[in-house]
Amino acid sequence: MLPLATGSATGMGVVAGASMVLVDFHPNPAAALCDGPQALTPEYLAGFLTYVRRMGSPIIPGHSRALCSMEFC
């Protein structure tokens, strides 16, 4: 499961039409020289990409998409 703040901010940006998002990934955020506290670890990468792709896909009529739902990640 992704940290809610990262996923929801990214999801809202993608839904609003952002063509790019910047998210820091680091294998050991505590040892990162900069941005460690906001970095995600690599095990979040696959779920994060799935989430971004899902948020960027067109909404099918009759179906909805929840901005802050991370259960599929």
Q: Where are the domains of the chain?
A: 1-18+35-58+65-73
Write out pLDDT tens, residues 46-60: 888 888 888 887 665
| Per-residue CA distances from 39 to 2, 19, 59, 64, 66 (Å) | 12, 21, 30, 30, 24
pTM given for the model: 0.64
High-pLDDT (> 70) share of the chain, %: 68
Q: Which range, 7-11, 18-22, 69-73, is most confident?
A: 18-22
Report DSSP state, residue 57.
S
In the predicted structure, residue 30 carries a pLDDT above the cut 90: yes
Cβ neighbours around 38 below 10 Å, total: 14
Average pLDDT over residues 16-42: 89
| Per-residue CA distances from 9 to 18, 34, 35, 39, 52 (Å) | 11, 21, 17, 14, 11
**pLDDT, position 71:** 45
